[in-house]
Structure 1
Amino acid sequence: MPTTLRRSLLAVLATAFLGAAPSMAMAGVNPPTVDDNLDPGSSIHVTKTVSTPVIPPRPDVVLVVDSTGSMGPAIANVQSQLSTIVSSVKAAQADAQFAVADYKDVSDGASVFTVRSDLTGDPAAAQAAINAISAGGGGDGPEAQLNALWQIGAGGNRISFRPGSSRVVVWFGDASGHDPSLGHTLADAVTSLQGVSAKVVAINVAGGDGLNATGQATAVTSATGGQFFPSVAAGNLSQAILEGLTNLPVTVTAETACDPGLSVSFSLSLPRTVQSGSDLVLEETISVAPDARQGSTLTCTTRFKLNGADAGDEFVQRVAIGVNDVTPPTVACGPGVNPSGRTPGGWQQAGFFQMVADDNLAGVSVAIRDDATGTSFGPYAPGTYFKLTQAPGRSGSTAVPFTGAVDWHFGFRGDATLVATDAAGNTASATCSVPPAQK
């Protein structure tokens, strides 16, 4: 989305700390539907905009808290503002879930890593989990965050991430970490987080030597597609958490299902990664195959996914293309019958004809025209039997019902032309004439 709109949304989020949680702007694909008619073998181009949500869909948010002794003010800030964080995120993504874990140092024994709450959609449960954390311990300067991050990911598998969710780990602390930590190196932690496709938002709380003193924070955030906040005051931590959740990379992919004979493609090619809350503009080509069945309506459904997650009906595009009938009908002056229903041996000289017409689709009709006067009669159904009498000296053209098996009698000054017209307006013609009598 435009920068000004994005800033306004972030400003709205910030006001959540002063009042009620805001509602979020809608995201989705525009236009959501395409309805058109195309000839076989042709294409159309449509500019498609995928507006990503400020917060990625179906978020599973894990708060990983440094709970050592120096972190008291930062923890207190999050405890007092967690309800606002949760309500703001849920205003954007109602199915958001939160988990809470904290870490200390190896010297703190069993408290080195604790999952206070697995993922839950219950704000009260998340609040109780963060309230259970108290600052204390820590031993020497570096802490045990690499073990904590490893435990969160596929290595420790301590968090029950939902299938198809957007996984975000919000890690905050003020100190560097031991490497290795309980046997887990920085590389181990990164691999574990990548194993669950988690993006890490690392927030360094000002005061200690810092999460990134040895480059651990930027290594983790770069490898997971997250972001790093290098210095945040304890009193601003909650706002930084919320901002971090609204500035994440979003990878857009598409799953398309089309009827045979119809296809869609995109330029730029997908997947494509953009910042959450921004627009991805695509040029879409919708193509009908040369052998597509004429007169049919073909459909395509494209479901745009964000970070591999189903983003809802707002991100579904439906295409309906009517395939034009471009094939003209066939028409001929066929052998007719006499009033008794028999085809005479000299049917053409006798002037007995049949309007023979066919088409690839239903709905063909036939008109008949006197070439000398330009007068036309009809339309008639294919299979109509008629008697044609040609008299160059007559004053005009006539059409009257005939007798028996013969439907019509046409009196023309010149030859007759049959014009077949199908339901799409395609035409074809054939000439009928009565040979002059042999002398």
Structure 2
Amino acid sequence: MRRPALPRVVTLVAAATAMLTALATPAWAAPGVNPATVDRDADPGTSIPISKLVSTPAIPPKPDVVLLVDTTGSMGGAIADVRTNLQTIITNVRAAQPGAEFAVASYRDTGDGAELFRVRQDLTGDATALQNAVNGLAAGGGGDFPEAWINALFQVSSGAVSYRPDSSRIVVLVGDAPSHDPSAGHTLADATAALQADAARVLAVNVGPAGGGLNDDGQAATVAAATGGQLVDSSPDTVTAAILDGLRDLDVTVTPTVVSCDPGLSVSFDAPSRTQQSGTDVPFAETIAVAADAAQGATLHCTVDFLLNGVSGGDAFRQQISVTVNDVTPPVVVVDDQTVEATGPAGAVINYPATATDNVDGPLTPTCVPPPGSTFPLGATLVTCTATDAAGNTGSDTATMTVRDTTPPTTGCVPTNNPSGGNVPGSYNPDGFYQLTATDIVDPAVKVYIGDAADPSVKFGPFPAGTKIKLVQAPGAQSRVKDGTGDIDYKVTLRGDALITAVDFSGNVSSTAVCLVAPPPK
């Protein structure tokens, strides 16, 4: 038996007011993630905290909305409201989500034959086709108080409606009575499982009395809660407003998802996801971490999508991260110790090599003090080389430049003139006059010593180079040195030949030169 029409619960004035309110709904805030881009510099091994705010859309992204309407005899007023104001629903939803599509389906009871469940229009963006489908809805049929909307929900999520991939799926169930359970062989558990497998949420619009009607047995609240939807109450002439309010009040789960990150960069959040009412701001604490071994000087990138109910919200919900890793490593400077032989009294010139290499800038030219090519004195001199990279990091190295004197002097015993005779004797030197010579590449004042070939214990000196002596051999006498006369500096009496050596200030000893004792006079 067909049930009587339910009484209206609002006046015509109230209904008109509700519709004007729905039509005058202000534009929603621009949805998206803020900040959408992060461009920072950071040291290796550090992290960057970011306060992230995701402004969710009032309507979930890429919505596929199925209007599933009870067309039994008591639903004439509700159907008329939907027919009159369908374009208001479409316009409002598309104001938030321009890509929204809609489908229209209807249900009655198990005794209503082909009207048990029908898809009047599959998902489409064609507003005219949708209006034609709703215009074809007519109230009639029905029997006892419960209807068969559990079967209708099962059919919608079992292939009767062709959802788009990655869409936000919302089934708007409009009715004024509970459902048989099971209905047409399908239980509430069956329908709930099918809806959950489709990731479809149920917005149940109760056109019956508040607290009863569609939810008279608690079924509508159960399926709405199980699918993340909700139950709203309405009167027959405010169905459109109730649908719009219900769509805006659906919860949205925001899930930060790292799409890609360059090696050395990672992103984490203080929560894997958060669920709030659509159209609100969802906060996250984001941490961007730079690895200790991240390539210095490189610019690393990450992309993060903030999914809405598991669906991409588009570019507005995609965050781009760019982190330039600071160069904190100083150049590696290399200068090695050098040891060279002195080339003169001032020491020696050392053209030592020095290099500098930076992990980012590559080869650099170091500055050294004293610089290569300097004349280094005898002994050890500390050299410091430094190099600074473009980031201001300075590296240094030190080395010891050692100039040594290991070259012995050169000495000689040169026959010289006889002061009394004025002659310059030849190599035979019958008079025994000699000049002691000694030179050194470093020491300008070499010390000369005289030894006795016949007595190893004898060592006279030191004498300066250029000293002139009169050498006399007295085999039985004591070796001695006496002042000479004229330009002869010393008279040297030895038992044997004179052995001349020179010693520089570094202690290097020359080879021995021999001054032969003049032969006895004839």
Kept in 1: contact 2:265–2:300 (CA 8 A): yes
Distance apart, 1:368 and its partner CA = 3.5
**Residues in 2 aligned to 1:15 and 1:334: alpha-carbon distance in whole angstroms:** 88
Distance apart, 1:246 and its partner CA = 0.6
Kept in 2: contact 1:22–1:91 (CA 8 A): no
* 1:25 has 2:11 as partner: no
* 1:293 has 2:295 as partner: yes
Sequence identity of aligned pairs in percent? 51
Q: Which residue of 2 aligns with 1:215?
A: 218
Kept in 2: contact 1:294–1:326 (CA 8 A): yes
Q: Which residue of 2 aligns with 1:67?
A: 71
Distance apart, 1:351 and its partner CA = 2.4
Kept in 1: contact 2:333–2:356 (CA 8 A): yes
Structure 1 segment 239-250 matched on structure 2, within 5 A: 239-250=241-252
Kept in 1: contact 2:256–2:269 (CA 8 A): no
**Residues in 1 aligned to 2:208 and 2:335: alpha-carbon distance in whole angstroms:** 95
Q: Which residue of 1 aligns with 2:89?
A: 85
RMSD between aligned alpha carbons?
2.5
- 392, 403, 412: which is aligned to 1:425? 392
Provide the secondary structure at the position in 2 that maps to 1:252: strand
- 31, 56, 59: which is aligned to 1:55? 59
Structure 1 segment 260-339 matched on structure 2, within 5 A: 260-267=263-270, 269-334=271-336
Task: Specify every segment of 5 or more residues in structure 1 that has no aligned partner in the other structure, as ranges.
Answer: 1-12, 337-342, 371-384, 393-413
What letter matches 2:257 in structure 1?
E
Select between 46-55 and 202-211 the one with higher mean Cα deviation: 202-211
Kept in 1: contact 2:348–2:375 (CA 8 A): no
**Residues in 1 aligned to 2:240 and 2:52: alpha-carbon distance in whole angstroms:** 36
Q: Which residue of 1 aligns with 2:349?
A: 350
What letter matches 1:260 in structure 2?
P
Q: Which residue of 1 aligns with 2:373?
A: 387
Distance apart, 1:369 and its partner CA = 4.3
Q: Which residue of 2 aligns with 1:137?
A: 141
Kept in 2: contact 1:388–1:434 (CA 8 A): no
4+ long deviations beyond 4 Å: 13-19, 343-349
Distance apart, 1:250 and its partner CA = 1.0
Kept in 1: contact 2:153–2:195 (CA 8 A): yes
- 119, 129, 137: which is aligned to 1:125? 129
**Between Structure 1 and Structure 2, how many residues are aligned?**
381
Change (3 A) 1:112 1:332: closer
Structure 1 segment 124-273 matched on structure 2, within 5 A: 124-154=128-158, 157-206=159-208, 210-229=213-232, 231-256=233-258, 257-267=260-270, 269-273=271-275
**Residues in 1 aligned to 2:253 and 2:22: alpha-carbon distance in whole angstroms:** 29
1:300-331 deviation per Cα after TM superposition (whole angstroms, max 9, x unaligned): 00011111111110001111111122222122
TM-score (norm 1): 0.81
What letter matches 2:97 in structure 1?
Q
What letter matches 1:327 in structure 2?
T
**Residues in 2 aligned to 1:346 and 1:290: alpha-carbon distance in whole angstroms:** 49
Change (3 A) 1:303 1:87: same
Distance apart, 1:429 and its partner CA = 2.1
Provide the secondary structure at the position in 2 that maps to 1:236: helix
Structure possessing the higher radius of gyration over alpha carbons: 2
Kept in 2: contact 1:420–1:429 (CA 8 A): yes
Kept in 2: contact 1:263–1:288 (CA 8 A): yes
Change (3 A) 1:193 1:346: farther
**Residues in 2 aligned to 1:431 and 1:72: alpha-carbon distance in whole angstroms:** 97
1:330-385 deviation per Cα after TM superposition (whole angstroms, max 9, x unaligned): 2233589xxxxxx9777994322223212222253423446xxxxxxxxxxxxxx8
Change (3 A) 1:301 1:346: farther
Change (3 A) 1:344 1:14: farther
What letter matches 1:425 in structure 2?
G
Provide the secondary structure at the position in 2 that maps to 1:106: coil
Distance apart, 1:271 and its partner CA = 2.6
**Residues in 2 aligned to 1:227 and 1:136: alpha-carbon distance in whole angstroms:** 27
What letter matches 2:366 in structure 1?
V
What letter matches 1:130 in structure 2?
V
What letter matches 1:170 in structure 2?
V
* 1:100 has 2:108 as partner: no
**Residues in 1 aligned to 2:108 and 2:137: alpha-carbon distance in whole angstroms:** 11
Distance apart, 1:187 and its partner CA = 1.0
Distance apart, 1:417 and its partner CA = 2.8
**Residues in 2 aligned to 1:28 and 1:178: alpha-carbon distance in whole angstroms:** 43
Kept in 2: contact 1:105–1:144 (CA 8 A): yes
**Residues in 2 aligned to 1:362 and 1:39: alpha-carbon distance in whole angstroms:** 17
* 1:40 has 2:44 as partner: yes
Kept in 2: contact 1:335–1:354 (CA 8 A): no
Determine which structure has the larger helix proportion and give its number. Answer: 1
Looking at both structures, which has the greater relative contact order when contacts are Cα pairs under 8 Å and sequence separation is at least 6?
A: 1
**Residues in 2 aligned to 1:335 and 1:166: alpha-carbon distance in whole angstroms:** 73
1:380-438 deviation per Cα after TM superposition (whole angstroms, max 9, x unaligned): xxxxx83113589xxxxxxxxxxxxxxxxxxxxx8653211122211122345654554
**Residues in 2 aligned to 1:17 and 1:262: alpha-carbon distance in whole angstroms:** 47
Change (3 A) 1:346 1:277: farther
1:168-196 deviation per Cα after TM superposition (whole angstroms, max 9, x unaligned): 01111111211111111111111111111
Provide the secondary structure at the position in 1 that maps to 2:303: strand
TM-score (norm 2): 0.69
Provide the secondary structure at the position in 1 that maps to 2:178: coil
Change (3 A) 1:350 1:17: closer
Kept in 1: contact 2:340–2:348 (CA 8 A): no
Task: Specify every segment of 5 or more residues in structure 2 that has no aligned partner in the other structure, as ranges.
Answer: 1-17, 406-505, 507-522
Change (3 A) 1:425 1:14: farther
Provide the secondary structure at the position in 1 that maps to 2:169: strand
